[in-house]
Amino acid sequence: MQMKPASIYDIEEIYNIEKNTNKHPWSKENFESSINAGNGSLILKIEGNIVGYAFFSIAGSDSHLLNITVSKDHQKKGFGNKILEKFIYQSKVLGATVIFLEVRVSNELAISFYEKYGFKRDAIRYNYYNGNPKEDALLMSKQGL
């Protein structure tokens, strides 16, 4: 098992996981622009294959989790925990004291996953996610890293 930052060369593999895992996936361009903007990233590889990833931005004392995903065939095996724990650690090392994220209000599994790590429900951002119908986002944060 190996964890390291994503590179532009990983985009194709990451995008294949994204589109096969998420109902509303990021585009290849979203991943490319995140890397090109200098945002942080982590990929988890097993036997040379990416099985999960996280993308995040850090500005001053704020860390913002943008995307975290584990491939369908590797879910429920603790890999999401490993990625989130490494992301929290990196955020702390890079000077963040709070982490923010948005999650679809319908994604109860993800919400309980974040709560397990001490994230609190802060607010609702109405009609945040595109689609038909649009969906609200639950804003969550973890203080005092």
The mean pLDDT values, 10 residues at a time, for the chain of 145 residues are 95 97 92 95 96 97 97 95 97 96 94 97 94 91 92
Judge whether 114 counts as a catalytic residue.
yes
pLDDT at 130: 85
Number of domains in the chain: 1
- Residue 139 belongs to what domain range? 2-143
Q: 95 and 124 in contact (C-beta within 8 Å)? A: no
3-state SS of 32-101?
Answer: HHHHHCCCEEEEEEECCEEEEEEEEEEECCEEEEEEEEECHHHCCCCHHHHHHHHHHHHHHHCCCCEEEE
pLDDT at 23: 84
Judge whether 53 counts as a catalytic residue.
no
- The catalytic position among 102, 128, 129, 135 is 102
- The catalytic position among 15, 18, 53, 114 is 114
Q: 108 and 138 in contact (C-beta within 8 Å)? A: no
pLDDT at 24: 86
Say what the pTM is.
Answer: 0.93
CATH code for the domain in which residue 71 is found? 3.40.630.30
CA atoms within 13 A on the CB side of 112: 4
